[in-house]
Structure 1
């Protein structure tokens, strides 16, 4: 096993006792409202959602049927998903998103048509919200995750409905979903390689930052370690993206091969022993060219790296031949280890008994139900907003949920003030309402990646406008009910988050440590031969070099994916306020040794040094 394998004897007993110690962690106040840099592709979901929402709304306006906006919005909101995926994978993922949205809407409308019991509807909406959370986390569908599904379906639970209307309303949602699919796929006509270029550019930019940082992990404080982890994560994500790109034509295969060469060059930064400003500038320039759509540069590779890419090409062929066996949208290693589940099996594995996702689902179900019933107790007749608020605050751990609750409360209050200030404009007519709703949608996507509270400022009035299309409540009642729902939903939801602790988060760290140890042990066995010695590489037969490069690539992929998963598990567990203490020394040792072994693997593939 690796150097960070599970200790034994007295050392194990001491560590075990430390791990069983339970401590309460304080909830942060600072950083909750700080603004970050926006995500580089924020404009893509923003523009897609505006088009997908705007077309049906203007059609319904022309027909005088704006009361149907909720149903078309259900399908149109699917345009917010999958913008980071290559177009082939995006097409599949968006189709599943649309079908999931229509299924959720159908469940809500059917329930609304069969019962008028508000407490029962709250319970059903809460159970559906829990399903949304667990399934979206298991499939790793990405932002905006479960929130849009829950917002639409929770609203639909409280819309007066007759069972005979349900098929027509679902057809509207399905039609708008088809439009959203077309809108999201339309950029493929102009930049068919855009998503994979952006993923590769991110890896190159992370590599440039690492090359400017300098020493290997352990030789200086945390900054190099963070840069090394960020580079490994970006490279791993980019490999996964490229492995979803089909190469059915020679041009497509050539483009993918060119991006893979750049990605191998970015990955070589993990082997750097010292800062290299010249290489960092090259990586930055290549990333800039990729983002601007320029021709792919010619990049020199070593023989080992070329052999590895030949193995990757063979894997692409195997992957495409087995494409009909079903694939999920979740992020997985580029080349899963033998026996590692992927596709639908991976989703089922993440939802199996003992999964750390299940306590989160329990939190959502309990918190949403209690929030909805609490809202009813204080006099709100349609408490769907309390259910949505509670569902929106549940993140991977208590700390993030606390931050989200505070952000949601601040953003909703400011959004209600904005809505109140714009009431004179809203009351001028439906056309003004449509234009304002589309403006709010664009502003929400432009700002939500900077901080959730800032996005909520725009989401709140947009949601109120969508409600207003179907029913007309006095403005004072509408604002008062939403503010009450926000406070009750955030308070009750956060209370359930604190009470329903996720003790399985610490178990996930132990499992991740074991996987890293196993991956490192396999890598060390491979490296024990010649440790990437250039002379040994030179005398190795050509066929053996290709096989060795492929095996080294496998070992590197497994170790990189294990380190990324370990860091994610540690961050999730560290954010639980009542949790077994994180085995910090073991984790630090595992990451330090793991990244050093990863650097040796990359160095083995990169020797001799790359030519400019």
Structure 2
């Protein structure tokens, strides 16, 4: 892509900074489609909640069955992760829910102990989930298990029995989850690969717009996520082949844009979305292989494994943007077969011409006077053909790469580096980690909400700390305001629905069925809009209260529940504005410094591996024996360095999104620096051929590059002045020099 002056580029990025992570109160009323696979999760959650109640009613021990349901929260965690990862992670969640229920049971009956227990569980759960970068629902279900346990009758069983029942309920939820998901064991991989293809299509569509940097980073993040999930699920066939080629498609789109200065044709995004639809639904043919392209009549095109049409129906590059996606039966592409063959032949011809231009030729037909005359019409036509050949060559490479997605063989997937849990904890629990202020804020808010509810004389005060924790789960003030509006509206409407439900006397079995139906509806609709979840939680809690203590007044239950919830929401919203409201903004310079340091370490690693060209002597037998271990060690070192860059880029983006929803202008002020760090990081991660060729000619040493990027990282933190824009230590690769200079220009000046 063309680059202008560095200061102008920085100002352009500053004025066109997208606010992808920023939310508004208007977004509180947005309704989204539930993510794929949510129906299965809703059914499993309903069964994990309802079956312990059914067993308790059959054995005439309904209170014990209600205690076992506290472990049912295990079923709702890590819904998008791989089956193998959930098999290892959910037992930890089960133990955590059982421990939270036990702490709540120990504190039950005393208001002060209740407040302290709920606050302690909220602190520990929040800091652990934040340090482990766990996805939603986070700490809130664990806090719910503790808070509900404080209100159960203390005489139903001793503490050991209640802890065992909660753990048994969690184990039952775990077994349901594993058994229910085994039939769709590759489902997480399918959905992750489909999301990555959609992100690549969006990236291709938005090249050259102000959303370019956001969509490019989103595509990189989704590719990384798909690689991790596929590595854990270990699927085979075409799905693994598509996952192995995602990063190559990303590279080809970037190369095409850099060589041509314009976005890829619209047909690229259309085809990627077609692949995404086929992968998500499972409609792909795993038997399709290289050299086999099925046309409308099932014919083969010779050489299909090497042309841009290999592996899919013909003619797809010539579809218009308004054309509907191709159907699985291939009827929409049958009429374009001839056009595709012609386009493929033209692309191959131009690519061959580009290669022939670099081969030595005989005597030129151009006379000496003509050559001495300088550039003329013929020279202009030659330059135009040169540009056309470069464009055609870039297009051919992109077309072949996208077409090869359908091949089930040919690329061996490389397992990504996945950080162990102990490393995540060690990194997430550092003194500078935002997990500490987030957890402290949640701890204080839940304690204050519980004490205020107890002081107000509420019969069941446990919903106040739960409401406060649900507000603070989102961490930033702007998102907390949005969630507060959703919960207030949902609670008000849910109170009306609960009052109408409780005015009719229902038998216990009807109440249990209602609890199961509401639990399934909550898990299905809550991701679409938090207000739906709040609306359904109100009647659910009323039914649970009727199950645990029949004969209670509907009016008193509703008043207690409303006061609890509104009090907790107000306390949580106030805490988000008053207690550490700029956590992410203050830690954004440290995230930038970590990212810059990781990029420098990877570049230094590449330089250390590069060797100057020249004749080499034949290796000795001892050298040949030790070559493979050294190569494996080098690959591990490079993989670890690449993983560090990817992880720091992801953490930098997460911190920027969080800061964008905090008070102040920290996110807007640092946006040019974030963009420059992303561009430099992705350039080094791509390892383009020009960079590899320039490494042997580098004047600096690997240690010099580390020191250079260390100085730049110190400049990001404000501890020192940034280095020069054009340091001599960098490889003589123009794109790398441009991106480094842009990063220096955008860094804060002392």
TM-score, length basis structure 1 = 0.78
- Structure of greater relative contact order (alpha carbons < 8 Å, 6+ residues apart): 1
State the match for 2:417 in structure 1.
335
Q: Deviations over 1:563-593 (max 9, x none)?
A: 2221111111222226856423322332344
Within 5 A, what are the aligned runs for 1:442-481? 442-472=520-550, 473-481=552-560
1:37-93, Cα deviation, whole Å (9 max, x unpaired): 322232232121022223222222323332234312112221111221222111111
C-alpha RMSD over aligned residues: 3.6
**Conserved 8 A contact 1:397-1:575:** yes
Q: Secondary structure at the match of 2:211?
A: helix
Of 167-176 and 439-448, deviating more is 167-176
Q: 1:231–1:270: 8 Å Cα contact kept in structure 2? A: no
Distance between the aligned counterparts of 2:265 and 2:180, measured in 1?
Answer: 37
Alignment-derived partner of residue 10 in structure 2: none
**Cα pair distance change 1:474/1:505, threshold 3 Å:** same
Q: Which residue of 1 aligns with 2:456?
A: 378
For residue 171 of structure 1, the aligned residue among 129, 144, 164 is: 164
- Report the Cα offset of residue 363 of structure 1: 0.9
Distance 1:366 1:131 in 2: 12
What is the correspondence of 1:230-269 to structure 2 with a 5 Å cutoff?
A: 230-245=218-233, 257-268=240-251, 269=253
User: Corresponding residue for 1:211?
Assistant: 204
Question: How many Å separate the matches in 1 of 2:678 and 2:177?
Answer: 38
**Displacement of 1:480 after TM fit?**
0.4
Q: Matched residues in 2 for 1:199 and 1:82: separation?
A: 13
Alignment correspondent of 1:75:
71
From 113, 117, 125, the counterpart of 1:124 = 117
Judged with a 3 Å threshold, the aligned counterparts in structure 2 of structure 1 residues 600 and 414 are, in CA distance, closer, same or farther, namely: farther
Which residue of 43, 66, 84 corresponds with 2:80? 84
Counterpart for residue 11 of structure 1:
none
Tell me, yes or no, if the aligned pair for 1:74 and 1:102 is still in contact at 8 Å: yes
Tell me whether 1:570 sits opposite 2:559 in the alignment.
no
- Tell me the equivalent position of 2:274: 285
| Deviation of the 1:156 alpha carbon | 0.8
Structure 2: how far apart are the matches of 1:554 and 1:515?
15
**What is the match of residue 465 of structure 2?**
387
- Is the counterpart of residue 397 in structure 1 residue 385 in structure 2? no
* 3-state SS of paired residue (2:25): coil
The answer for the alignment partner of 2:564 in structure 1 is: 485
Where does residue 346 of structure 1 map in the other structure? 424
CA–CA separation in structure 1 for the residues paired with 2:643 and 2:92: 28
2:28 corresponds, among 32, 49, 73, to: 32
My pick for the range that moved more, 369-378 or 291-300, is 291-300
Q: Which residue does the alignment assign to 2:329?
A: none
- 2:714 aligned partner: none
Match of 1:42 among 33, 38, 43: 38
Q: Is the 8 A contact 1:308 1:550 kept in 2?
A: no
Partner residue of 1:331?
Answer: none
Tell me if the contact between 1:134 and 1:357 (Cα under 8 Å) persists in the aligned partners: yes
Q: Secondary structure at the match of 1:222?
A: coil
* Aligned equivalent of 2:62: 66
* Cα deviation, residue 31, structure 1: 1.6
Aligned to 1:104: 100
Change (3 A) 1:345 1:185: same
Shift of the alpha carbon at 1:144?
1.6
Distance 1:528 1:384, change over 3 A: same
Q: CA deviation at 1:524?
A: 5.5
Note if contact 2:432-2:587 (Cα within 8 Å) is conserved in structure 1: no
SS at 1:571's partner residue?
A: helix
C-alpha contact 2:238 2:285 (8 A) present in aligned 1: no
**Helix, strand or coil for the counterpart of 1:583?**
helix
Write the distance in 1 (CA, Å) between the matches of 2:237 and 2:691: 26
Taking structure 1 as reference, are residues 561 and 279 closer, same or farther at Cα in structure 2, changes over 3 Å only?
Answer: farther
SS of 2:87's partner is helix
8 Å CA contact retained: 2:107, 2:113: no
Distance of 1:494 and 1:267 partners within structure 2: 41
Query: What is the Cα deviation at residue 94 of structure 1?
Result: 0.9
Alignment-derived partner of residue 211 in structure 2: 223
CA contact (8 A) 1:375 1:488 kept: yes
Alignment partner of 2:677 out of 570, 590, 596:
590
Name 1:416's counterpart in structure 2: 495
2:25–2:481 CA contact under 8 A, matched in 1: no
CA distance in 1 between partners of 2:677 and 2:409 (Å): 29
Residues 500-579 of structure 1 correspond to what in structure 2 (within 5 A)? 500-521=579-600, 557-577=643-663
SS of 2:511's partner is: helix
1:155 is aligned to 2:155: no
Q: Is the 8 A contact 1:307 1:546 kept in 2?
A: no
Distance 1:280-1:530 versus aligned 2 partners, 3 A rule: farther
Q: Is contact 2:105–2:159 with CA below 8 Å preserved after alignment?
A: yes
Contact 2:581 2:663 in 1 (8 A): no
Between the aligned partners of 1:255 and 1:106, the Cα distance in structure 2 is 47
Cα distance in structure 2, aligned partners of 1:559 and 1:180: 37
1:494 match: 573
Measure how far apart 1:357 and its partner are.
Answer: 1.0
Q: Secondary structure at the match of 2:662?
A: coil
Distance 2:459 2:633 in 1: 67
Q: TM-score, normalised by structure 2?
A: 0.64
Alpha-carbon distance in structure 2 between the residues aligned to 1:400 and 1:295:
43
String of CA shifts for 1:262-306, please: whole Å, max 9, x gaps: 43445344544122333333332332232223444658798xx99
Q: How many residues were matched structurally?
A: 532
Structure 1, unpaired ranges of 5+: 8-25, 317-333, 532-542, 606-612
Question: Residue 152 of structure 1: CA displacement?
Answer: 1.6
